[in-house]
């Protein structure tokens, strides 16, 4: 099984609105492993600290009880280990190993999708550990009920305990993360440079870290001071990518794939409900996330500006009353890096 990364601790996990809930739940698990939050499932997009929190739980459990047996591994590794055990006729050993740990931490369980035999085995491991009141921590890139290709009874178990989301960090948290990481690396990061980067690099913490690394490396290499101007030049391509990110085309592609329809369907004149709603959502996103005018957006969808206006109002009203639409909209905003 994989090794716990000692660098991922609660101590260096910066808290913000976007991750406070997940962090609190993780800390609760350390205090009462095998308690009410079992399994603890942390879900959210890539680069938002799921793996970090999972290791933090493992490290903290070991710090409290050095004899605790923790298995940490990615879902893919778990599957590989399982299939190797089958090949070598060692499934009994495999079963015994994973059913005798004090805590089982499995990262990225969305990987289990469409792996029936692995799911079956995981189902039994899961049940054995829960029965023995051993802690399970899981991460996933989406809410478990939304993972296609996972058996219903396993899916339902994923949500038996507590499922918490990690969201993309807001501006204040992005600032705090940059400043803390700079400090940890003994880098002098002027506040205005942190703000400049935090305002532009919005998607996730991994990208923020990457941007900071590039800034510090090239400022050392070139012996130049870390100014906003320096940051603008050094990160030129990254920043350009962010500016390109949210285009109407991009919104269309993202919405179409989210609703499992074709991009062309978003432009089609058909009025069926299954197409009308995604189309309205796409228009509303275009209005909110791009600088385009109503007529421009209308043109991009083969409609006039009143249709776009209607769509924006409709979606905004539905977001107040329809939980599903609200969730869809927020998921899409997130996927678009907004």
Interface residue list for ligand ADP (CB under 6 A): 8, 12-14, 19, 46-52, 177, 205-206, 209
Smallest gap from residue 231 Cβ to ligand ADP (A): 19
Beta-strand runs (E) in 17-157 = 40-43, 70-74, 103-107, 135-140
Widest pairwise Cα distance in the chain: 67
State which residue, 56 or 332, has the beta carbon closest to ligand ADP.
56
Q: Which of 1, 51, 173, 204 binds Mg ion (CB under 5 A)?
A: 51
Residue count at the site for Mg ion (CB under 5 A)?
2
Smallest gap from residue 295 Cβ to ligand ADP (A): 40
State which residue, 49 or 161, has the beta carbon closest to ligand ADP.
49
Smallest gap from residue 51 Cβ to ligand ADP (A): 3
Smallest gap from residue 209 Cβ to Mg ion (A): 13
Q: What are the tokens at 326?
A: 């609200």
String of contacts with Mg ion for each residue 253-282, x by CB under 5 A: ------------------------------
Q: Which of Mg ion, ligand ADP, none does residue 112 bind (CB under 5 to 8 Å by kind)?
A: none
Q: Which of Mg ion, ligand ADP, none does residue 48 bind (CB under 5 to 8 Å by kind)?
A: ligand ADP
Cα–Cα distances in angstroms (integers) from residue 259 to residues 52, 162, 256, 270, in the given order: 30, 27, 5, 16
State which residue, 139 or 254, has the beta carbon closest to ligand ADP.
139
Q: Rounded distance, CA 102 to CA 61, Å?
A: 10
Q: Rounded distance, CA 215 to CA 211, Å?
A: 6
CA 229 from chain centre, in angstroms, equals 31
Q: What are the tokens at 330?
A: 């927020």
State which residue, 50 or 279, has the beta carbon closest to ligand ADP.
50
State which residue, 58 or 278, has the beta carbon closest to Mg ion.
58
Return the range that interacts with Mg ion (CB under 5 A); candidates 27-35, 43-51, 126-134, 144-152: 43-51
Q: Which of Mg ion, ligand ADP, none does residue 287 bind (CB under 5 to 8 Å by kind)?
A: none
Q: Which of Mg ion, ligand ADP, none does residue 13 bind (CB under 5 to 8 Å by kind)?
A: ligand ADP
Smallest gap from residue 293 Cβ to Mg ion (A): 40
Q: Rounded distance, CA 106 to CA 92, Å?
A: 20
Q: Rounded distance, CA 149 to CA 313, Å?
A: 35
Cα–Cα distances in angstroms (integers) from residue 22 to residues 4, 26, 39, 261, 329, in the given order: 19, 6, 13, 33, 21
- Asked if 140 interacts with Mg ion (CB under 5 A), we say no
Q: Strands 70-74, 103-107: parallel, antiparallel or unpaired by DSSP?
A: parallel
Q: DSSP letters of 17-56?
A: TTTHHHHHHHHHHHHSTTSSS-SEEEE-STTSSHHHHHHH
Smallest gap from residue 206 Cβ to ligand ADP (A): 4
Q: What are the tokens at 25?
A: 């739940």
Give the residue closest to ligand ADP by C-beta. 49
Smallest gap from residue 129 Cβ to ligand ADP (A): 22
Q: Name the packing angle between helices 323-335 and 305-321 (round to 10°).
A: 110
Interface residue list for Mg ion (CB under 5 A): 50-51
């Amino acid at each position: 099984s994989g090794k716990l990364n000692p660098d991922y601790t609660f101590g260096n996990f910066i808290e913000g609105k976007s991750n406070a809930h997940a962090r609190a739940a993780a800390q609760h698990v350390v205090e009462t492993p095998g308690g009410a939050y079992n399994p603890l499932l942390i879900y959210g997009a890539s680069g938002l600290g799921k793996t970090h929190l999972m290791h933090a739980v493992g490290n903290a459990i070991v710090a409290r009880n050095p004899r605790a047996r923790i298995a940490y591994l990615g879902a893919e590794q778990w599957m590989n280990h399982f299939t190797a055990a089958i090949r070598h006729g060692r499934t009994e050993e495999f079963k015994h190993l994973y059913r005798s740990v004090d805590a089982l931490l499995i990262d990225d369980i969305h990987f289990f999708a469409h792996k029936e035999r692995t799911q079956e085995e995981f189902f039994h491991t899961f049940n054995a550990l829960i029965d023995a009141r051993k802690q399970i921590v899981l991460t996933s890139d989406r809410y478990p009920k939304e993972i296609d290709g996972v058996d219903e009874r396993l899916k339902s178990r994923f949500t038996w305990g507590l499922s918490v989301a990690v969201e993309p960090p807001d501006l204040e948290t992005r600032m705090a993360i940059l400043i803390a990481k700079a400090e940890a690396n003994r880098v002098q990061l002027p506040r205005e440079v942190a703000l400049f980067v935090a305002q532009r690099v919005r998607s996730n913490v991994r990208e923020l870290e990457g941007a900071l690394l590039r800034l510090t490396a090239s400022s050392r290499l070139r012996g130049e001071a870390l100014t906003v101007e320096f940051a603008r030049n050094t990160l030129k391509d990254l920043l350009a990518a962010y500016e390109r990110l949210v285009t109407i085309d991009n919104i269309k592609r993202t919405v179409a794939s989210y609703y499992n329809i074709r991009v062309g369907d978003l432009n089609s004149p058909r009025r069926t409900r299954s197409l009308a709603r995604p189309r309205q959502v796409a228009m509303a996103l275009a209005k909110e996330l791009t600088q385009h005018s109503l007529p421009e957006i209308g043109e991009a969808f083969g409609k006039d500006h009143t249709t776009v206006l209607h769509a924006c109002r409709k979606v905004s009203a539905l977001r107040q009353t329809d939980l599903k639409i609200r969730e869809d909209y927020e998921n899409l905003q997130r996927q678009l890096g907004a």
